[in-house]
């Protein structure tokens, strides 16, 4: 589904990603972790062709730079870390934006587009907010609206930049369970960045540890979430305990 070879990104004169290789199989969930500034968001942005890069990135066999915008939007849906909130837009109107790649030029959304939007509003538990202005939602409610818009795009590849950072622990689990269920039901491929390492490890098939723009480790959660790797790359004092669905990373003073 995704092949990245020798990816290098320079921003503002600094090398942000350097020699990154990555393979993500169809239906796989890969979570990118790493300390602040490691290059996680930049990697996601590069996957959608949003930052200039050297090296090669292909999505479902096509070079990302060769895909036209509309085509790319049918392949990849992204929830950015802090998406723009268009003023005066209701939740339903916002989620409908996810259907843009399917609306004909100068045309309007069809009844089927409206039905898809309402389905995602329902699956994200947003029905009671559908006619409210997006700007009046709490941070967590808004986060769910961002995800609903991305899901309405019905793209096979879902890129999530810290999808749970604004959510309480219950909604974190609801949203990640939903993404996992959609992954199975719709065959979605998921690439996410996350800071909560225990939760990250519980949902990912594989993890990539980025540090200073390079891949420091890649493997199963048990291979990547180790005390020595976390001490080296995060300078964190942690204990890693065995958990039912993956290692549990506990900070210790
Ligand atoms: N437009 C830019 N110009 C210069 N430097 C940039 C630009 N965008 C990002 N950077 C730098 O690139 C590095 C990687 O940023 P990125 O946002 O990818 O990190 P991250 O791993 O997602 O961090 P965080 O965990 O803090 O969200 C950072 O040092 C950042 O300051």
DSSP assignments along 6-35, one per residue: EEEEEETTEEEEEEEEEEE-TT-EEEEE-S
Q: Please work out whether the CB of residue 45 comes within 6 Å of at least one atom of ligand 1.
A: no
CA of 37 to the centre of ligand 1 (A): 5
Question: Which of ligand 1's atoms lies nearest the C-alpha of 210?
Answer: 21
Alpha-carbon Rg for the chain in angstroms: 18
- All domains of the chain in start order, with CATH: 1-60+190-253 (3.40.50.300)
Q: Please work out whether the CB of residue 172 comes within 6 Å of at least one atom of ligand 1.
A: no
Those residues whose C-beta lies under 8 Å from the C-beta of residue 25, and which sit 6 or more positions away, are 1, 189
Tokens 């268009």 belong to residue? 86
What does each of the 253 residues of the chain score in pLDDT, given as a tens digit?
Answer: 899 999 999 999 999 999 999 999 999 999 999 999 999 999 999 999 889 999 999 998 899 999 998 999 999 999 988 888 888 899 999 999 999 999 888 888 889 999 999 999 999 889 999 999 999 998 888 889 999 999 999 999 999 999 888 888 988 888 899 899 889 988 999 999 999 999 999 999 999 999 999 999 999 999 999 999 999 999 999 999 999 988 999 999 8
Q: Please work out whether the CB of residue 31 comes within 6 Å of at least one atom of ligand 1.
A: no
Among residues 144, 165, 198, 191, which one has the least CA distance to residue 36? Answer: 165
CA of 106 to the centre of ligand 1 (A): 37
Distance CA 196, CA 192 (A): 12
Residue nearest to atom 17 of ligand 1 (CA): 41
Whether the ipTM is more than 0.90: the answer is: yes
Residue nearest to atom 2 of ligand 1 (CA): 11
């Amino acid at each position: 589904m995704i092949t990245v070879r020798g990816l290098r990104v320079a921003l503002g004169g600094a090398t942000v990603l350097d020699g990154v290789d990555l393979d993500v199989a169809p239906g796989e969930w890969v979570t990118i972790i790493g300390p602040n500034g490691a290059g996680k968001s930049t990697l996601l942005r590069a996957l959608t062709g949003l930052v200039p890069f050297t090296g090669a990135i292909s999505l479902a066999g096509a070079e990302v730079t060769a895909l036209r915008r509309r085509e790319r939007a049918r392949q990849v849906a992204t929830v950015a870390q802090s998406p723009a909130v268009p003023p005066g837009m209701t939740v339903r109107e916002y989620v409908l934006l996810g259907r843009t790649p399917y609306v004909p030029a100068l045309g309007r959304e069809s009844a089927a587009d409206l039905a898809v939007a309402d389905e995602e509003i329902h699956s994200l538990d947003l029905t009671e907010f559908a006619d409210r202005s997006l700007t009046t939602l709490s941070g967590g409610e808004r986060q769910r609206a961002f995800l609903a818009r991305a899901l309405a795009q019905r793209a096979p590849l879902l890129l999530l930049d810290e999808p749970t950072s604004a959510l309480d622990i219950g909604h974190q689990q609801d949203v990640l369970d939903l993404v996992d269920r959609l992954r199975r039901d719709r065959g979605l491929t998921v690439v996410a960045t996350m800071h909560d390492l225990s939760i990250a490890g519980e949902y990912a098939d594989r993890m990539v540890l980025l540090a200073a723009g390079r891949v420091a480790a890649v493997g199963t959660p048990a291979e990547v979430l180790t005390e020595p790797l976390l001490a080296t790359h995060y300078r964190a004092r942690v204990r890693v305990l065995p958990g039912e669905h993956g290692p549990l990373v506990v900070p210790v003073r």
